[in-house]
Amino acid sequence: EDDHLVLNGRSQAYLALNRFDESLSDAEHIIKLKPDWSKGYLRKSEALFEMKRYTTALLSSLMALTFDPEDPVGKTIMAK
């Protein structure tokens, strides 16, 4: 039931360790489990950005902001 929260934390930890493929994989799993939760899209966007996949990162950020327009992380990613 709370798997998406565990995956979110792990995805964030992978980002901090520069393990972007693993972070992206967890983010995609979050989205499958909870498709209307903005954090999954934000984690995906952050991983894609670090992988220099900027267009896809931007699209994922837009999805996150669709679900939570006031999210400061989403706004920061969009500004990059």
Report the alpha-carbon angle 50-67-1, nearest 5: 85
pLDDT at 71: 76
Confidence of residue 7 (pLDDT cuts 50, 70, 90): very high
pLDDT at 68: 86
Tokens 């393990």 identify what position? 19
3-79: CATH class: mainly alpha
With a cut of 80, say whether residue 73 has pLDDT above it: no
Tokens 């670090």 identify what position? 50
Tokens 């679900």 identify what position? 67
For residue range 24-64, what is the model confidence (pLDDT) as tens digits? Answer: 999 999 999 999 999 999 999 999 999 999 999 999 999 99
With a cut of 80, say whether residue 66 has pLDDT above it: yes
Query: Which 8-state DSSP code applies to residue 18?
Result: T
